[in-house]
Chain A
Amino acid sequence: MVIFLLILHALVGVALLGALTHQVASSLRGRSVRSGSFVDRYIGVTQKTFTPAVVMLYLAGLLLGATIYPSYRLEVRIPFEEMSLGWAVGLFEMKEHFAGIGLGLLPLYASLWSQNSDSIDHRNRIAITLVLACIVWWAFIVGHILNNIRGLS
């Protein structure tokens, strides 16, 4: 069951990563350019449409992560400590705290994307989305590295 939830957690992470990266890339580029190139098609999306998906996927990912966290604490972290892999424990601790901060950002993120905003709100919107994207990328990469060192069984 834990393995199933871990795989689901990773799949939700992939979807969230895709949505947020798409939104950030498109926001940073500004107005879309109409051409046939892959990059222009990638960033030429309606940015607002990603917001509900990002919120739902973030909540789902966090809920799944919180569900399997006790298994990590017992089956992975203790062996890490026995192997003197303090840095690996530290990486996971960062992932956990960053993810918590990201959860707190969701209302502001959703609010900034839901309104027609001026230039200051636009800057906040891009910055908050970028912070969320960094959190999700960090969580994904760290989760992958730690799972490679020692996965759940």
Chain B
Amino acid sequence: MKLRFAPATFSVTFCCAYVAAFAMNWPLFLYYPLHGDWSFGPQIVKGIGPAMAWYGLMVDAGAVAAVAAFCVPDRTVKAIFRNYLWLFPCVAIGACVLLLRHFFA
């Protein structure tokens, strides 16, 4: 069997996985820039400075999307969502705004 990368599947899955990981606070790892430390999982290690989750969220979404892109062909995704591919990033952006609303309260 030949593996083929499915770009539409990747992008759709990436948007969903990114928002899910962000909403559930599931970064694969955290980075602590003060001393360049790392920790696995979302649990913040105290005493080593501020933590950054973005890299972990990106790896989460990228990994899930990459697996999906090699397992689910584009024609499957397009058969269901062909008219609405553009909706996924729009909803993902809207969800991020919603999740960040506490900064503006």
Please report A residues at the B interface, Cβ cutoff 8 Å.
Answer: 66, 69-71, 73-74, 77-78, 86-87, 89-91, 93-94, 96-98, 100-111, 120, 123-124, 127-128, 131, 135
Q: Which residue of B lies closest to A97 (CB)?
A: B96
Main SS of chain A's interface residues? helix
Residues of chain B within 8 A of A93, CB atoms compared: 100, 103
The answer to whether B33 and A66 touch across the interface, beta carbons within 8 angstroms, is no
The answer to whether B85 and A101 touch across the interface, beta carbons within 8 angstroms, is no
Main SS of chain B's interface residues? helix
Residues of chain B within 8 A of A135, CB atoms compared: 93
In Å, the complex CA distance between A135 and B82 comes to 22
Residue-wise, chain B 25-44 has the 8 Å CB interface mask toward A (1 for contact) of: 00000010110000000000
In Å, the complex CA distance between A104 and B12 comes to 8
In Å, the complex CA distance between A89 and B90 comes to 22
Residues of chain A within 8 A of B14, CB atoms compared: 101, 103-105
A-facing residues in B3-33 (Cβ within 8 Å): 5, 7-8, 10-12, 14-15, 18, 22, 31, 33
